[in-house]
Amino acid sequence: MKRYTLSFIVLVIAIGIPFLLITPNERDAMSGDERVTRELLKDALEKAIQTATINYYKPIEDTNKMYRGAIKGALASLDDTYTYYILEREHQRAVENLYNAEFGGLGVQIYEDHRGFIKISKPIPNTPAALANLQAGDYITKVDGKRIHLSEKNGMTRDSVIDLLRGKADTDVTITVQRKFLEPFEVTLTRAIVPIRSVKSTMLDGNIGYIQISGFIGNKGGTEEEFKNALTAHKAAGMKALILDLRGNQGGLLNAAYHIADAFINKGLIVSTKSETNSKFDEEYPATSNLSCPPDIPLIVLVNEYSASASEIVAGAIKDTRRGILVGQKTYGKGVVQKRYELSDGSMSLTISTYYTPNGTSINDVGITPQVSIEREEPDEIEHIMLRKLDSTDFVENFISKWIDDAHQKPGEMPKDFSLLERDLPKLQRTLEEENITVGLRWLKQRAEQFFNLYVGIDQVANLAYDQQLKEAIRIIEANEIEKYLNPIPETVEPPSTTQANMPPEHETTTEE
């Protein structure tokens, strides 16, 4: 299959102006009101901005923001959540994170502590940060002499710190590090290409392979390469069944999702797309004969209400072709495709088509219902309200951060035993009660352990203590019940006729994500 070039298809959850692109002599009337032309609207926009600039009660320092607002408004008028304007900085970050699946940087995961300072949670192996022996728990207090402290007053955010740390590969950056019990020290690092990971995997008891995909990224390599590496390792280790976890996966690149589904399916269509206005976006993505995961490996795909877009393409293909079963909750229901177009001051995400599962079904605003519906274990109504109140505060994060600071007794030796912190959770519970937040220890422990693992650099792939859906998937495999849920064969809808058996054509190159 040909790979896309500068333009690419994006399937993501996300919450110029047409009339500015019209030539001066064009007088076509706007649909809906023949008395108003595009040229008149263009003139009205210019006059509105000029009038505001002269007469607004406070000085307008940047009129470009008004033009950007006009672009946003033009796209918002389409009433499409997935069509929107992206600023240049956000566009560049999306190019790095989604399309390239890599960036120039140091290779550190950072978080904000309870006082607004930036700490390292985990240097990524084989990156400049790891090679310089930066450690979990180190504070980054300065970047190129600029003091690092997050607050509303100075306007510094975690993202702005990331912008300071990232940059072109082979460029230098000097950071000041504060390590507990030691004097601050400076280290100059040369930025390198750092890959962005979207796949985690482990082997569960009973030789059950477990692969979790958090997003579909990377035009070259990325999710597709990570997935194949994980699958190869599992097969070499004697995998007898596979659980593919797409819960919370909100989408990514259509091309990446296609290749993941193609690893399991060797005939028919995996997905197709259709536009009501532009036939160049009508595409068919047929399965190839190259199976990475053979049919004798039982397959369960975990989904939930946050599985959306590209993850629904994979889930829909697995369900329609009866290659495996879905376990969990009904998916989100995003069945439309976006393309990124570069503008002179950023880019736009534009919905260009609807996609269809192998049975010719559009799941937009409908979602996919799993064969085995298992709701997540949820708190009761009162506790749910309290947890929402808790999540709107920083109490848990601050408690965990302070506990780690207090328990950190030797340079470079971060506390790794959550059971020690767990003993102190009743103290946090009493503090919350003083703030009229009553939360049971079970739910408090669950949140606290997530933050603890993040802050001390523990990468826990699966946690059966809290995961009823994963436990049910394991039970189904061990009881050899997958076939029970696949039979009797459900009614099928004739798939749309295939006009070609070759790979989908390469998309047009735009001016450039």
Is residue 320 part of the annotated active site? The answer reads yes
Contacts of 328 (CB under 8 A, 6+ apart): 247, 302, 303, 304, 307, 370, 372, 373, 374, 469
Helix, strand, coil tally for the chain in percent (to 5): 35, 20, 45
DSSP 28: P
Given a contact cutoff of 8 angstroms between Cβ atoms, the answer to whether 400 and 451 are in contact is yes
CA 147 remoteness from chain centre: 30
Residues 293, 298, 300: CA angle, nearest 5 degrees: 95
**Known active-site residue 416:** no
- The DSSP letter of residue 410 is B
What is the DSSP secondary structure assignment for residue 102, as one 8-state letter?
A: E
Q: At what angle do helices 425-434 and 395-407 cross, to 10 degrees?
A: 140
Nearest alpha carbon to residue 75 among 86, 65, 66, 88: 86
Length of the chain: 513
Pairing mode of beta strands 241-245, 299-303: parallel
In this structure, how many other beta carbons lie within 10 angstroms of the beta carbon of residue 151? Answer: 10
What distance in Å separates the CA atoms of residue 451 and residue 453, rounded to the nearest whole number? 5
121, 198, 214, 309: the catalytic one is 309
What's the CA angle centered on 254, arms 253 and 256, to 5 degrees?
70
Q: Which of 320, 349, 401, 445 is catalytic?
A: 320
| Distance separating alpha carbons of residues 299 and 297, to the nearest angstrom | 6
- Answer for the pair 83, 338: CB distance below 8 angstroms, yes or no: yes
DSSP 73: H
Peptide bond preceding 195 in cis form (omega within 30 of 0): no
The answer to whether the beta carbons of residues 460 and 406 sit under 8 Å apart is no
Give which of 263, 102, 252 is closest to 169, Cα–Cα.
Answer: 102
Phi, psi of 185 (to 5 degrees): -140, 155
DSSP secondary structure of 463-486: -TTT-HHHHHHHHHHHTT-HHHHH
Of 334, 349, 401, 445, catalytic = 334
- 309 catalytic, yes or no? yes
Report the catalytic residues: 309, 320, 334
